[in-house]
Amino acid sequence: MSGTNNARSFQFAHLLAAGAFGALGAFFTCYLSKRAQPVRPPIRVLITGAAGQIGYALSSLVGHGELLGKSQRVILHLLDVETATEPLNGLKLELIDSALPLLTDVIATTNPTEACTGVSIAIMVGGFPRKAHMERKDIMAMNGSIYSKHAYALEKYACKGCKVVVVANPANTNAVILSQCAPSIPRKNITCLTRLDHNRALGQVAAKLNIPVNVVKNVTIWGNHSSTQYPDVNHGCANGITIRNAIRDDNWLDNEFVSIVQQRGAAIIKARNLSSALSAASSVCDHIRDWVLGTPPGHWVSMGVISDGSYGVPEGLCYSFPVTCKDGDWNIVQGLDIDARSRQKMDDTARELEEERRLAQDYLQSL
Ligand SMILES: NC(=O)c1ccc[n+]([C@@H]2O[C@H](COP(=O)([O-])OP(=O)(O)OC[C@H]3O[C@@H](n4cnc5c(N)ncnc54)[C@H](O)[C@@H]3O)[C@@H](O)[C@H]2O)c1
């Protein structure tokens, strides 16, 4: 009897074990098949000025899928100048050590041709920073020289349809130089970063209302990525109501808020003794990801794009507008009411950009 019971117990335990292993097997098959979902072929992403502080933060974010999504593999092309060879190679070593599954390969180079070959996304962070003693026309000439060379390399060696975002300052005018020196790259593919300013504006509204930043939407940065930019909340919402109705302090919105956003870069430099890097890198990812994968319905973002004359902004300036993105394309949000105060601020920042463009053109004509 006890022998039979023992045999039954053994059979039961056996069945249980088989069932458990079966379920475990099914779980792992399902888990592994999900893990092993075919990922798309890798996309080549260029970061210029990669050995600098933005490049350091950005390349890791790209490897974590923040730029193009969590199922898109990337090959990073990191470009810097000869004098930055050691930190550039050091960055490559750290990226390898990070064991990032989406990062298929890293090419660290000081050769613009190698850097630009086959890239579909170009993030132009490399540039010459303005020093205290330098005049605006000098900085324009230094960056004009860099951006005209990089434009030729991109035009010749990048993939057709390569999307470009210029980060290095003067970002808007560097983008204009790039577009003029690379006429075969469609103008719609050349943009500059004002998403950091946009995110700063969202952050200020959220902090004022003590609400999460993701329930604030549709602020706009108009114009230059400089202290003349105009952060505009007139069409924005927070938790489903207009920002003006939510905050109920027009004086703060029209004065302190505008000045905080315009001067935020300087405040970061004062605090860190270095310019924004983490937030800039994060905003680059937001800019490209929304451009490639689309903005959520009902949301817009700010992007520096080559003006088509919308809102009376002179054609050909790289000016920050509100845009929506779909199917890899951006479009300026049309039909927003612009009051007299806003009009003046939008024109002021356009004037500064026209002056920068004139200096850039003087440089290009001198070549
Ligand atoms: N648009 C924005 O929102 C925004 C925000 C923050 C910073 N920025 C600008 O981004 C730029 C980079 O900032 P950072 O803090 O990383 O500066 P950084 O000085 O740390 O790095 C710049 C890098 O560019 C490299 N470089 C210079 N000339 C080059 C060339 N011809 N080719 C390739 N690389 C070259 C330098 O060697 C350096 O490694 C600056 O111009 C800064 O003002 C823009």
pLDDT, one tens digit per residue, over 233-254 is 999 999 999 999 999 999 999 9
Mean pLDDT (the chain) is: 91
Average pLDDT score over residue span 138-153 = 93
Distances (CA, A) of 74 to 49, 70, 120, 158: 18, 10, 10, 15
Q: What is the pLDDT of residue 39?
A: 60
Q: What is the pLDDT of residue 140?
A: 87
- Kindly give the distance from the C-alpha atom of residue 112 to the centroid of ligand 1, in angstroms, as a whole number: 16
Of all residues in the chain, the percent with pLDDT exceeding 70 is 89
Helix, strand or coil, per DSSP, at residue 222 = strand
Helix, strand or coil, per DSSP, at residue 122 = strand
Residues lining ligand 1, CB < 6 A? 48-49, 51-55, 79-81, 84, 125-129, 146, 167-169, 171, 193, 196, 225, 275-277, 280
In whole angstroms, what is the distance from residue 276 CA to residue 53 CA? Answer: 9
264 is in an annotated binding site: no
229 is in an annotated binding site: no
Highest-confidence range of 32-46, 121-135, 163-177, by mean pLDDT? 163-177
Whether the per-residue pLDDT at 204 is higher than 50: the answer is yes
One of 225, 235, 287, 299 is an active-site residue; which one? 225
Residue with CA closest to ligand 1 atom 36: 49
The answer to whether 221 and 302 are in contact (CB under 8 A) is: yes
80 is in an annotated binding site: yes
The question of whether 225 is a catalytic residue gets the answer yes
In whole angstroms, what is the distance from residue 258 CA to residue 344 CA? Answer: 14
- Kindly give the distance from the C-alpha atom of residue 205 to the centroid of ligand 1, in angstroms, as a whole number: 29
Ligand 1 pocket, mutate which of 46, 47, 80 (most atoms under 8 A from CB): 80
334 is in an annotated binding site: no
In whole angstroms, what is the distance from residue 356 CA to residue 141 CA? Answer: 11
Q: What is the pLDDT of residue 5?
A: 41
Whether the per-residue pLDDT at 34 is higher than 90: the answer is no
Q: How confident is the model at residue 133 (pLDDT cuts 50, 70, 90)?
A: confident
Average pLDDT score over residue span 141-167 = 96
Q: What is the pLDDT of residue 139?
A: 85
